[in-house]
Amino acid sequence: MSSPRPAAARHDAAPTPAAAPHGAAPEGAAMTHREILRALSGLLLGMFAAILSSTIVTNALPHIIADLGGGQSAYTWVITATLLAMTASMPLWGKLADLFNKKLLIQLALIIYITGSVIAGLSQNSATLIGVRVVQGIGVGGLAALAQIIMAAMTTPRERGRYGGYFGATFAAATVSGPLIGGVITDTPGLGWRWCFYIGVPIAAVALVVLQRTLKLPVVRRKVRIDWLGALLLSGAVSLLLIWITLAGDSYAWASWQTAVMTGGSVLLGLLFVLAESRASDPIMPLRLFRDRTITLSSLASLFVGIAMFSGTVFFSQYFQLARGESATMSGVMTIPMILGLSLSSTVSGRMISRTGQWKNWLVAGGLLISSGMLLLGTIRFDTAYWQVAVFMTLLGLGIGMMMQNLVLASQNQVQPSDLGAASSVVNFFRSFGGALGVAALGAVLANRVGQYTRDGLAQLGVDPGDGVVAGGGIPDLSQLPDPLRGVLETAYGHGVGDVFLFGAPAAVLAFVITLFIKEVALRGSQQAPQASGTASS
């Protein structure tokens, strides 16, 4: 049993506690280890469904986009749309968690996720699928933000490393099983890729029931004003930037009036967002949090970690299926080394951090491993020995596992309980934004590089590139191509994916450098943050 936790700090009027549900601990009293595990089971089911919705589709995407008649841009946006919605909505979910009933909020996120998943499975074209993935992303953003916030509300910072290991294991399990399940479903006659969206629905429904029965948190009511203007400006700034990155170099030149308008508009909306947050009574992203050096640097590091994390899960499927000719199922099997590395490092680092209270060395080691993995993956080609690719993926997975959860943990350690939602969501926001930015930018790089390599290869064969086989206009079905053309496309995708990792490597190096400057503060054994932290007391 954990020690009693102090009551949360209040900003406004005194809270009015709701009637405690039967079996719930009194307000301010800590939950027992057994109660935490029971509630955690519902959170983990919700997290599993959310992660599954992203990973299960990666190996099916070449088939989905080919079936719906989309191209590389659509391929990228099926992923980016979810990341964009998740990124834009996460700060709002986090702020709402500081103001309203966390249990009802996570149940609402599950319902939104279920609705989006069902409609996504019914999509008849890529535009519809991309639009519905936005709805899915809003639900996933709520699940990703609220699961960690609720866990933080139930435990002390020192205990969170221990329970964070369960989140790491769940992340790994969903990431391992997702591509495998998606590959099997896609390759199984009578099922097909649409079931990749349906399969998460019953899991999310079970999570709803479990959370209703097990999650017992005290309700704190406050007079609040939701910062809708801040949410709108933030969403607009992020969306405009990602749309520009995705379309630049394809629909218009990088140096063009469209680039000037979209980047200028994104910067203007960003500045207006900062102005709005400085004046809002309850901002979705309190600027005072950034007075704390640990939160600021952890957010920057998360931005660059997101690029590495999502590039690994998104582009490996194209590498194994289009460069090496593997099936969707085998593509999932071949990514297991990265996931095993992630699972091992997140679980071990979480337990060791709970035992010692020290976390910085794990962040530095993780940054070094991610940088090494990305640089080495930048050397892969279509004929690179698989054992080498497996080693490189393992390094990447080990590094991500050491950094992903622990950057959030370091930030949570700096704030009062009343700011847990905002602080957690800030770090998660930057990681998701980095992922969305990375997928959009690196997807554009891949389309450009594959197109160039394909044209060069066709020229060597004496084939006119205008015949329609140049990659970038669509995702090719390699089984329908004659051997010489198939060899050109496999080479192009092998080189192109390698270039993607090489272009993403500087972001990983920056994440490593940033962790060197984060000042370590030993994890607390109570909920209350020291007043000197300068974040929650301001």
**Contact of 74 with 122, CB cutoff 8 Å:** no
The larger pLDDT score, comparing residue 179 to residue 384, is at 384
Contacts of 37 (CB under 8 A, 6+ apart): none
| Residue written as token pair 């329609």 | 468
pLDDT score recorded for residue 467: 53
CB atoms within 10 A of CB 16: 9
pLDDT at 387 over 50: yes
**Contact of 246 with 440, CB cutoff 8 Å:** yes
CA distance 509 to 190: 45
Average pLDDT, integer, range 302-315:
78
- The overall average pLDDT reported for the chain is 78
pLDDT at 436 over 80: no
Average pLDDT, integer, range 199-219:
82
pLDDT score recorded for residue 392: 95
pLDDT score recorded for residue 377: 94
CB atoms within 10 A of CB 2: 17
Give the pLDDT band of residue 465 (cuts 50, 70, 90): low
Of the segments 89-93, 194-198, 383-387, which one has the largest average pLDDT value? 383-387
Q: In the chain, what is the straight-line distance between the N-terminal and C-terminal CA atoms, in Å?
A: 32
Element (H, E) at 230: helix 228-247
Give the alpha-carbon dihedral of 94, 95, 96, 97, to 10 degrees. 50
Q: Cite the DSSP H helix spans in 56-156.
A: 61-68, 72-99, 102-121, 126-154
pTM: 0.73
**Contact of 535 with 414, CB cutoff 8 Å:** yes
The DSSP call for residue 324 is S
Residue 395: C-alpha distances to residues 323, 348, 400, 500, 501 (Å): 22, 15, 9, 17, 13
- Per-residue pLDDT tens digits for 11-60: 333 333 333 333 333 334 456 777 777 888 888 888 888 778 777 777 67
